[in-house]
């Protein structure tokens, strides 16, 4: 095997801060706040409030808001009102269709490029996810779940599809935080163990099928939370 480039997400925080322009740094921090549900669906945001929360200047915060509006992660309602979008049933149906179309394909491509080192990294990530579940650490669960999927999609070497999926995650991330708040982390099943087994077996078709099931399961959980129903098993 040839040498692999270091994932910039694994760089020490100080190094990352030096290498990242301030406007990009502010954008990524605000993006994570939305992705991991620190900002709830329907919650309004203001430049003044975010400058204080992010300890940043108005210009990079304004630019971050503009970029996230263009990505659909924030909604401009007029009169300078900006909110986190609330997920509707129609929107959930669209998201489910797109995720179940794109993510299994990315997974199959990743399976064909899997290495022992990358599979071990996925196991480590899933172990950290399970530890967060055991501890009831909602933030940790959400971050590790996203990282697990993101590692797979980056491995697929299909940047257009992967970037599209990343934007889809921004659309349902805040609602997924609501699922955790309603049901608790211990009640959130996933199919990661089956997926890791498919990768270990080198079965790309099976890996795609398992990912489709994992995506469908997650979207069903969000739908149940929107309807105030018990979590499906």
- pLDDT tens digits for range 30-73: 999 999 989 988 999 999 999 999 999 999 999 999 999 999 99
Q: What CA–CA distance (Å, rounded) separates 10 from 137?
A: 21
- pLDDT tens digits for range 163-173: 999 999 999 98
Reading the block at residue 8, the tokens are 């910039």
Rg (CA), the chain: 18
Q: What is the pTM of this model?
A: 0.85
Beta bridge mates, 75: 83
Q: Widest CA span of the chain, in angstroms?
A: 56
Reading the block at residue 175, the tokens are 């609602």
Helix%, strand%, coil% for the chain, nearest 5: 70, 5, 25
Mean pLDDT of 119-145: 94
């Amino acid at each position: 095997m040839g040498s692999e480039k270091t994932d910039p997400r694994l760089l020490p925080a100080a190094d990352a801060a030096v290498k990242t322009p301030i406007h990009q740094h502010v954008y990524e921090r605000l993006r994570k706040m939305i992705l991991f549900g620190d900002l709830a669906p329907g919650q309004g945001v203001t430049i003044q409030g975010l400058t204080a929360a992010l300890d940043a200047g108005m210009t990079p915060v304004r630019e971050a808001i503009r970029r996230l509006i263009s990505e659909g992660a924030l909604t401009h309602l007029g009169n300078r009102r900006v909110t986190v979008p609330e997920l509707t049933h129609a929107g959930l149906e669209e998201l489910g269709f797109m995720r179940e179309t794109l993510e299994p394909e990315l997974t199959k491509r990743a399976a064909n490029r899997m290495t022992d080192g990358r599979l071990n990294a996925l196991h480590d990530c899933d172990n950290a996810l399970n530890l967060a579940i055991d501890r009831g650490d909602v933030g940790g669960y959400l971050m590790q779940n996203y990282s697990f999927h993101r590692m797979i999609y980056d491995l697929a070497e299909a940047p257009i599809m992967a970037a599209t999926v990343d934007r889809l995650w921004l659309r349902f991330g805040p609602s997924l935080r609501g699922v955790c708040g309603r049901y608790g982390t211990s009640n959130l099943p996933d199919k990661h163990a089956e997926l890791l087994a498919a990768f270990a077996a080198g079965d790309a078709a099976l890996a795609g099928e398992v990912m489709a099931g994992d995506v469908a399961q997650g979207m069903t959980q969000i739908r149940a939370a929107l309807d105030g129903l018990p979590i499906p098993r």
